[in-house]
Every structure is written in structure tokens, then in C-alpha cells.
Amino acid sequence: MKIRLYSILILFVLVISGLVIGLRGTLPQSGAVQLDALHSIASIQGTSRGNLIWADNFTGNMWQLSAPSSTVANLDANHLLSLSITFSKQDVVQAVSISRNVNFSLDENPIVIVGMSVSGGVHYGIRFTGTTPSGATFDAWREGSRLQHRPGLGTIENVTANLVAETYLANNQLPLPGSKITRLWFYVEATIGTSGDFSLQATSLQAFELKQTTTSSTEISGTFSGIVINLGLPSLSQSIFQAYASYDIRGTSDLRYTPFLVSGTSVLAQGYTYTQNAFTSHQVAVLLPQRVTGFPSILPNANFSSIIISADAGSITHFKIEDLTFKLTSTSDLGTGSVDSNTAQLFMASYLVFLFVTPVAAVILFVKVFKNEN
């Protein structure tokens, strides 16, 4: 009798284990692939300012001042644009702006470079608006841009705006051929409770054509505001987990840059913000999807995947890529594991039986066998 109970118990456990394994179901298993992308580089481009399109000499009465009644503001344009402001303490945010008409054709792919200094303790920003060939107006600025709500540092900063990129990001589409930027704003804002005397001084305001220098080599030298590494990668049904870029980079002492991995105009991964290293030109950057919070200052080519080294400050004078590796993860086909409601109920019942009822029954039988032994 004892032998028979043992045999039944063992057979019962084996059968249930087989059913659990057989009925547990399967889902597509995700795997990881490491891709050496260094040999997929098609070209490297350095972006810089080209021919001068326009410059403001800061004379005359082209600039208009707008200020709330709670502030005292004075604007002077005498080869130097100088805005002095006295903010009184208020329980709301206060802002003073100055603006002027401009005429930049977006077909020329213009970049605007402003040399300016703003007092510490307040924030400032630059905004643009434009018109399409039909006369419709559009914004060429957006909240979240690095051109908005910048902290005043009290020192001269060179702020660069890629107008085609800003227009695209503000409207989620490329500007229509023949579109123009027609107005430019500078503003200074004070947070709640801020009071005192502050100033904005612009020493230069220029618009240039965007120049692109292309090489098939792994290195490039010049004076660049950004580096674009164009990739000729095959089409993969996988997603980026991590990207590693190893490179040598040199630039001006104030160089600060952020690397991006983009597919068309979509940002797939973003790296940390790096500064010029005084001890070595070598850098290993890690780009992660979860770090995506911004967009490069250069509008990517919609037809390519690329790594973009976007200078937030300063200039890049030399760049050489040494290694580029992507870690990819397979993405499951969501339709593969879909079932109808009746099948889902059957699976639920089987899981309840095999995950709860079966272990309890096995324990009870096991206890009874050993009771009989004793």
C-alpha cells in the first residue's frame, strides 16, 4: 500500500509538472545584439557659419520696447544695444521685451549669432516669428528650447539659433519654401519676488548662412558649431538600448557639447553634457534613450540616422571618431501574444489550478503518506 501511494504521488507530480511546462505558453524572447557601427559611417560633416547675410549696427530707432507698468525700463541703441530695467517686488512673474523687424529667408538656412550679457538674478531669452509665402504667420520658438529662460550670467555669451531647426521644432514640420523670419525678440524676466536693477547688453547681432563641410574620413578639423556623423545602417526591427562613442575632440576653452543619436528627425538616445577636458582630448560618451530631454541645435537629415555632437557653447576645432557601438534589444510583436476572451479565461482557469490548487493537493497527499509511514 505504501509503495502504491509513493508511486501515485511521484506519477502525480510528474504529470502536473509536464502540464505546467506544456501549458505555460510562450512569448517572443527578447535578445540583445551588439552592433559595431564604426564601419557603417558614410560621412562626417562639420557645421559652421558661412557667408554673412545681415548684421545689426544698433543705431536708429529700429528696436521697440515693451514693459509692464510695474517696471522702469530704458533702451539705448548707440552701436551697443543697452536695456536697463528696475523690477519692483511683485507676486507675479515680470518680463520686459525689445523687438525689431528682420527679413531672413529660411531657404538660405540661416543661423543667428548674438553676443550679449545679462545680469545675474534674472532670466532671458530670444524668440522669432515669421510668415509663409501666403502671408500666414508662424512661431519659430518653443518652450523648452535652450534659447528660452536662460539664466543671466553677467558675462558675454555667444548665443546661436538655427532658424530652420527652431521653426521645425515649434511647428513639427519643415518650413514651406519661401518662408521668412520677420521679427526678433529679446526678453528679460524676473521671478516672483525679484526686485532690483538689471541690464541686458547686446554687443553683436548677425545672421549667417549655415555652412557644411563634409569628409569621408574619420576625422575633421575646422571651426564648427556641430559635428554630424551620417550612418548607413541596415534596417533593423530592434531598438536602441545603449550607444557608445569613443572619440578625440578639441575646441575652444568654453566648449560645452551634448551628443545625440537620431533617426531622421527623431531623437533615439542622448548623452550627458561634456566640457573641454584640459588634460586629454579623448572622450567616451554613453547615449541612453532614457536621457532624451532635448534636441540638437542642428536639424538632422530626415533620410539618415546619425550621431550629432551639438555644441551648446564654444566651438569644436578637431574631431576624430575611434569607436561607435550600439547595443540593440529585440522588440516583441505585440500582436503575436494576443488571444481572444474565451482563450484568456481558459488560461486563467488553468493558471489558478496549476499554480494554487495543484500545490495544495500535492502537499496534502504528501502529508498523508508520511502520516501512514508513522
Last residue of a domain, one of 330, 349, 367: 330
- In this structure, the answer to whether residues 150 and 251 fall within a common structural domain is no
**Whether residues 129 and 114 fall in one domain:** yes
Are residues 261 and 155 located together in one domain of the fold? Answer: no
pLDDT for position 229: 96
Given a cut of 70, whether residue 236 has pLDDT beyond it is no
Residue 278 CA to residue 161 CA, distance in Å, equals: 28
- Between 160 and 83, the more confident residue is 83
* Cα separation, 190 vs 89, whole angstroms: 9
Express each pLDDT in 99-144 by its tens digit.
999 999 999 999 999 999 999 999 999 999 999 999 999 999 999 8
Residues 97 and 175 in one domain: yes
3-state secondary structure 30-61: CCEEEEECHHHEEEEEEEEEEEEEEECCCCCC
**What pLDDT shows up at residue 355?**
61
Give pLDDT tens digits for 209-221.
999 999 999 999 9
Question: Could you give the C-alpha distances from 288 to 101, 113, 278, 310, 326, in angstroms and in order?
Answer: 41, 30, 26, 16, 10
Tally of CA atoms within 13 A in the half-sphere of 171 that contains its CB: 20
What mean pLDDT, rounded, does the chain reach? Answer: 86
Domain check: are 277 and 299 in the same one? yes
Asked whether residue 161 is assigned to any structural domain, the reply reads yes
Nearest to 259 by CA among 313, 299, 295: 295
How many structural domains does the chain have? Answer: 2
Assess if residue 263 is contained within a domain: yes
Give the CATH number, domain containing residue 262: 2.60.120
**Is the pLDDT reported for residue 268 higher than 60?**
yes
Please indicate, yes or no, whether residues 65 and 206 belong to a single structural domain of this protein: yes
280: buried, middle or exposed (CB in 10 Å: 19+, 13-18, 0-12)?
exposed
Q: What angle do CA 163, 98, 167 make, to 5 degrees?
A: 15
Q: What is the CATH number of the domain that holds 176?
A: 2.60.120.260
Please check whether residues 244 and 123 belong to one and the same domain: no
44 and 82 within one domain: no
- Out of 36-40, 257-261, 286-290, 341-345, which region has the weakest mean confidence (pLDDT)? 341-345
pLDDT of residue 368: 65
The x, y and z cell numbers of residue 237, run together, are: 526591427
* 169 and 70 together in one domain: yes
Q: Are residues 206 and 237 in the same domain?
A: no
How far, in Å, CA of 246 to CA of 336, rounded?
38
In this structure, are 229 and 283 located in the same domain?
Answer: yes
Q: What would the mean pLDDT of 253-275 be, rounded to a whole number? A: 92
73, 67 in Cβ contact below 8 A? yes
Q: Per the domain annotation, does 132 fall within a domain?
A: yes
Give residue 337's pLDDT: 43
Domain limits for position 325: 32-48+217-330
- For the beta carbon of residue 137, count every other beta carbon within 10 angstroms: 10
Residue 54: closest CA among 103, 1, 116: 103
Structural domain includes residue 133:
yes
Is residue 245 in a domain?
yes
Same domain, 157 and 69: yes
CB 273 within 8 A of CB 315: no
pLDDT digits (tens, 9 = 90+) for 281-337: 999 999 999 999 888 988 888 788 999 999 988 899 999 999 999 998 865 443 444
Q: From 189, 210, 231, give the residue that closes a domain.
A: 210
316-330 and 32-36 strand pairing = antiparallel
The answer to whether 322 and 219 have CB atoms below 8 angstroms apart is no
Instruction: Tell me what pLDDT residue 26 has.
Output: 46
What contacts 14, CB < 8 A, 6 or more positions away?
Answer: none
User: Which of 160, 193, 210 is where one domain is finished?
Assistant: 210
Residue of 46, 47, 44 lying closest to 231 (CA atoms) = 44
The alpha-helical segments, DSSP class H, found in the chain are: 2-23, 163-171, 341-352, 358-373
